């Protein structure tokens, strides 16, 4: 089982991950990332045809609402529990 598969399994089972792990996974799934103007700690991930995902870079680990958004993105990509 690859590191990516283990990470997906951890997310889908309800575990928490770090911002760096989420950023890597979302970019691997084809999401483009951007920091808003003005020095905010929030980072937005966008992909055509999908809801945007906004994460806070300073949260360690990510909060439950952020994990829920990532789970929904994985489900939309066809990843099963």
Q: Is 62 exposed, middle or buried (0-12, 13-18, 19+ CB in 10 A)?
A: buried
CB count, 10 Å around CB of 8?
21
Output the pTM of the full model.
Answer: 0.85
Please check the confidence at residue 37 and state whether its pLDDT lies above 90.
no
Q: What is the mean pLDDT of residues 44-68?
A: 89
Residues 6+ apart with CB under 8 A from 37: none
- The fraction of the chain above a pLDDT of 90, given in percent, is 51
CA–CA dist 81, 77 (Å, integer):
12
Evaluate whether 50 touches 43 at the Cβ level (below 8 Å).
no
Q: In the chain, what are the domains?
A: 3-76 (3.30.920)
């Amino acid at each position: 089982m690859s590191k990516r598969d283990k990470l997906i399994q951890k997310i889908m089972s309800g575990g928490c991950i770090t911002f760096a792990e989420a950023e890597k996974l979302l970019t691997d799934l084809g999401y483009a990332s951007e920091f808003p103007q003005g020095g905010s700690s929030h980072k937005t991930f966008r992909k055509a045809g999908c809801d945007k995902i906004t994460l806070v870079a300073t949260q360690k680990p990510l909060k439950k609402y952020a994990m829920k958004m990532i789970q929904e993105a994985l489900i939309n990509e066809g990843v099963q529990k």
